[in-house]
Structure 1
Amino acid sequence: MARLRGRSQRGTRCRMSVPHGHWKTTTFIGGLRLSGMTAPMMLDGPMTGEWFAAYTRKVLVPTLSPGDVVILDNLPAHKGAVAREAVEAVGARLLFLPPYSPDFNPIENIFAKMKAWIRRVAPRTLDADFSHLRQFQVIL
């Protein structure tokens, strides 16, 4: 992730390097429990229905117990039948937040802090990003 702002002397152009290239998307997905983060995963690209189904089956479902509730926002990738079936097969429930309700989504606050921390560290590769995220997860 690149820093959002830079400084330079008045009248001179601010030059900064962009760690992963210009406008490259890195996606972080994870769950939030009362005990902290769970099932973290990082993607080199945007979230798609295929990626979310794979994440649900291989990363999220093994951490779920019967009676757990999985709350999702309304990203189109979250609405696939494969993910719903995988979550319900474990005995967990799947609920969606109402549209435009970031106040009900506490994981967004953690994601904002995580992004600020990564920007401050300024890693240059996706592997460095992930190792810094592991450190951030330990801090939580």
Structure 2
Amino acid sequence: MAEDRRHWRIWQRYMDPERFVFLDETGAAINMISRYGWGPRNERLVDATPHGHWRTTTFIAGLRSTGLVAPLVLDGPMTGEAFLA
């Protein structure tokens, strides 16, 4: 294992950071809204929440040293088929 680490450190010297692309994914679903909250003492807390869509929205993009590339918004979760596309 120590030998592998040594080779990795040597190989890092020759890596070009401009060629790296990291995929980052995040998602949001409006049904994740908390149904409970804090309000004034002895008063009922009433508020509105969005409703009717109940699906996940997913955002994925490539991160490079120069910024974001190839952003994509999906109306639904990330699936294997969507990832390969």
Q: Normalising by the residue count of structure 2, what TM-score does the alignment of the two structures yield?
A: 0.47
Question: Which is greater in Rg?
Answer: 2
Q: Which has the higher strand share?
A: 2
Q: TM-score, normalised by structure 1?
A: 0.31
Structure with more contact order per residue of length (Cα contacts < 8 Å, sep ≥ 6)? 2
